[in-house]
Structure 1
Amino acid sequence: MANTRVLVVGAGIAGPVLAIFLKIKGYDPIVYERLPSPGESGLSFLLQPNGLRVLSLIPGLLEQIPGHSPDRMIHCSSLDGKEDILVDNDISPDTMRERFGFPLIGVRRAEFQRLLIDTAEKHGIEIKWGHQAIEFEQSEDAVEVTFANGIKDTASFVVGCDGLHSNTRIALFGKEKASFTGLAQFGGLSPTPPALQGKFALVNHYGNGRHMVSYPVAEDKHSWAITTRETEVKEDWKIQHIEQQNEIRGGPLSDWGFGAGDLVKTGQKIVKYGLYDRPELKSWFKGRIVLLGDAAHPTSPHLGQGANQAFEDIYHIMRLLKKYNPSASQLSTELLSQVFIDYQVLRLPRTSELVRRARQQGEARVIEGIDACRVRDEKIRTESHDDAARMAYYELLSGPFKNNEM
């Protein structure tokens, strides 16, 4: 009997990982991606222990991850020409492994995506590029997907892993209005500046009306992103024209202390994008189609949990498939609905809370006015000793399981 066919929409970060787990567990996944090939879009992100805990269940993957781990987490402030270190914590790989079992790893998105695609293909998973899903027609035991190029395919069920601008989400729940948060980000990749030579540090730089986060993604390269308040900016993540990049490199942020200004001055492939909110969904599935990752719960980047929460989604959906369908056989709509209901009952509250916390974090970081910034800085200093904040951080990084039930 043929294996249960699953159609995964999206070959970004979550899609290939889900497909690998499906293949390992006896399903027959196929991945469709609207882009013509793996791209260079996006800069980087931080793989955190909760995400790495899930990835560790794919044999041999962690050892191949291209990137670099920070040793310190430093919060520093530059106000009125005065530079001050607010917090300096040990987050070295040894320390993080002792606390959580896994380190932090800064990775360039394009390199990490290529690793995931290569790994998926080595598992015998087909990835079809240049296929934009536009229509989903459900029957009693299958879903037929139509792509913009006229091709159709059918599977037992469909998982939408197609990110922030998810066509699967639109097909299920209609087009929503995204509201601009008033915050924009721009960022790039830069050679490690003199101030950070030999210091593999994750640095939060705070200024008047701006915040920068930077971290190593290689021995000699840092990724950085600056959040500011601006009038509406497009949400397109496109690399700026050379004139716009030069304007950023030579602008006022190039004088920022603690190495932040040097990162700006030497920035490569600088992108700029607005941060938008979307309505919170009350459900993530209809019939045989379910959403996962940013397609289900898009978030602002201020907690660095976007990809990591997608991996938590994958763990739980796979755990529930094993619970309700251990033989990986064809599922009735009723049984599949039970998987999806349990999945969203567990994941919706957690991800909704993290979306809110990320939004609050962004607002709290980008404070305007010197006096208000000094209050912010003092709060950052004191929160590093706050037991409740520390426990919330430990709880976040300790997920999504202690004993693997997948």
Structure 2
Amino acid sequence: MKTKTRVIIAGAGIAGPVLAIFLKAKGYDPIVYEKVEALADVGLSLCVQPNGLCVLGLIPGFRNKLVGEPFERFKQCSVLGGEATVLVDVDYPSRLPEETGYSMTGVRRPLFNRTIVEVAESHGVEIVFGHQLVSIKQDDANVEVTFTNGAVDRASFVVGCDGLHSNTRLCLFGHESVSYTGLTQTGGISPTPESHKAHRTMLNVYSDGAHLIAFPINDKQTSWAITRREAEARETWRSMDEEQQKSFKEGPWSQWPFGVGELVRTADQIVKYGLYDRPELHVWHKGRVVLLGDAAHPTSPHLGQGANQAFEDIYHLVRLLAKHNPSAAQPSTELLSTIFSEYEELRIARTSELVEGARKQGNVRVVQGEEACRARNEAVKAVYTDENFVSNWLQFFTHPFKMGESEI
């Protein structure tokens, strides 16, 4: 009996289990190792966009398991100098299903992660918790991975999906500091205000030195986050202590219009975290080990593309493995180099542009001084009223493939 090609995937976050599902379907034998002992209820939310959803949609039955809320509208508002103004209110998201087959959808991150893990396990993927990759040795045929608990495993190749603080990346390219963007976010999950229920809306509110984003994540709850320029705050994802939460709930944002004050006052738990990215890598692999998702190109959240770009990575890596190694046989190092290099050629430029764009977007949103804020507000209006905006926006979602044209 032919032995299947074993693949070690580091990380059971958003990307790792999805990659494992596709590899399993293509005839590989993937195993996912995750450093935490069990998935925890940490993190707030994310927006799964059509480019990511079209990849997830290739997994049979996944769409029916997704718990989230599709958006109908974008609403851009300003709170400045005692004035509350609606800058833009448009129905662009409602046009997406007809054009792409999918809506922009808000999801609760911990639930989304658990759903991905459960679907992977239902497809026969083995996920092992409590194993943090700490070292990698490789030869011409295999990779040996050692974990902090002393366990050792071997595989034909390794894919690092272990996020911003990737140990796989550290093993390949040495220590490098994460890059603090200068911005923090403070946010929570709240009951959806009555004023928000008429239309499922992604709301942006701009002020002097602050920006809020809010969107529904199910039919009862809304996720929100306020971005400010502050001293560095660690990315722990732990809730503020009770006194800090009380102070924040009673602070200036508790009086904001557009339903924002109600969101702030009614949040169950409030968390604060710094926003980081990393310097661009010019290659994502060495030998039989390759990076994917945030391990390769971590980004700040201002374009909402972090998870979606990881799903694009998955599509192209699986597509290239199927193209160059259709039998899923044990690949030579030379064959893997061809696959990984082609993957990088496709993905590095696109992801680098989006990482840079996300950082720029954060800086544009959070400006200080009334003159700068009014200029920003006019720029926001100009973007959403540009006659080319919708066509360019829809074109973005033709990646990684046009509707109905998947190669995997």
With normalisation by structure 2, the TM-score equals 0.97
Superposed displacement of residue 364, structure 1: 0.4
d(CA) in 1 for partners of 2:168, 2:79: 44
Residues 37-48 of structure 1: pairs in structure 2 closer than 5 A: 37-48=38-49
Tell me the residue number matched to 1:341.
Answer: 341
Match of 1:162 in 2: 162
Partner of 2:329: 329
Q: Specify the code of the residue in structure 2 equivalent to 1:87.
A: V
SS at match of 2:302: helix
Q: Percent identity?
A: 54
1:186 Cα deviation from its structure 2 partner = 1.0
**TM superposition shift of 1:392:** 3.6
CA distance in 2, matches of 1:218, 1:177: 36
- 1:70 matched to which residue of 2? 71
- Give the structure 2 partner of residue 61 of structure 1: 62
Between the aligned partners of 1:290 and 1:392, the Cα distance in structure 2 is: 32
2:369 — aligned with what? 369
2:407 is matched with: 405
Identify the range of structure 1 (107-116 vs 229-238) with the bigger mean alpha-carbon deviation.
Answer: 229-238
Contact 1:186 1:270 in 2 (8 A): yes
Shift in Å, 1:391: 4.0
Report the TM-score when normalising by structure 1. 0.97
Q: Which residue is 1:31 aligned to?
A: 32
After superposition, the C-alpha distances for 1:127-186 in whole angstroms (9 at most, x for unaligned) are: 100000000000111100000000000000000000111110111111112232221111
What displacement does 1:92 show? 5.0
Q: How does 1:88-237 map to 2 (within 5 A)?
A: 88-93=89-94, 95-237=95-237
**CA–CA separation in structure 2 for the residues paired with 1:240 and 1:26:** 46
Distance in 2 between the 1:388 and 1:144 partners? 51
3-state SS in 2 of match to 1:264:
helix
Aligned residue for 1:308? 308
Q: Within 1, Cα distance between the matches of 2:114 and 2:272? A: 23
Deviation at 1:55, TM superposition (A): 0.6
**Deviation sequence 1:350-369 (CA, Å, 0-9, x none):** 00000111111100000111
Q: Residues 286-314 of structure 1, C-alpha deviation per residue, up to 9 Å, x if partnerless?
A: 00000000000000100000000000000
- The one-letter code of the counterpart of 2:146 is T
Distance 1:317 1:72 in 2: 33
Is the Cα contact below 8 Å between 2:187 and 2:224 reproduced in 1?
Answer: yes
Q: What amino acid is aligned across from residue 275 of structure 2 in structure 1?
A: L
CA displacement, residues 335-383 of structure 1 (integer Å, 9 cap, x when unaligned): 0110000000110000000011111110000011112111111111111
Separation of aligned partners in 2, 1:242 and 1:310: 35
Whole-angstrom distance in 2 between the partners of 1:174 and 1:387: 46
Aligned match of 1:350 = 350
Deviations 1:93-151 (A, max 9, x none): 5x211122211111001111111111111111111000000000001111000000000
Aligned residue type for 2:45: S
Gaps of 5+ in 2: none
Q: Structure 2: how far apart are the matches of 1:178 and 1:65?
A: 32
Distance change (3 Å), C-alpha of 1:357 and 1:29: same
Give the aligned partner of residue 394 of structure 1: 394
**Deviates most, 295-304 or 244-253:** 244-253
Q: Which residue pairs with 1:85 in the alignment?
A: 86
CA–CA distance in structure 2, aligned partners of residues 327 and 77 of structure 1: 56
Cα distance in 2 between the residues matched to 1:288 and 1:248 = 48
C-alpha separation between the residues in 1 aligned to 2:169 and 2:231? 28
1:250-265 alignment runs, 5 A limit? 250-265=250-265
CA contact (8 A) 2:164 2:277 kept: no
Is this contact kept in 2: 1:138–1:288, CA < 8 A?
yes
Secondary structure at the counterpart of residue 395 of structure 1:
helix
Alpha-carbon offset, residue 283 of structure 1: 0.7
User: Which runs of no fewer than 5 residues in structure 1 stay unpaired?
Assistant: none
Q: Which digits, 9 at most, give the CA deviation of each residue in 1:187-220, with x for residues without a partner?
A: 1100012321333111011111111110001111
SS at match of 1:301: coil
Q: How far apart are the structure 2 equivalents of 1:28 and 1:45?
A: 30
1:18 and 2:24 are equivalent in the alignment? no
Aligned Cα root-mean-square deviation (Å)? 1.2
The number of residues matched between the two structures is: 405
Matches within 5 A, 1:259-274: 259-274=259-274
Contact 2:210 2:366 in 1 (8 A): yes
Letter in 1 for 2:25: I
Would the aligned equivalents of 1:70 and 1:91 in 2 still touch at CA under 8 Å? Answer: no
Contact 2:287 2:337 in 1 (8 A): yes
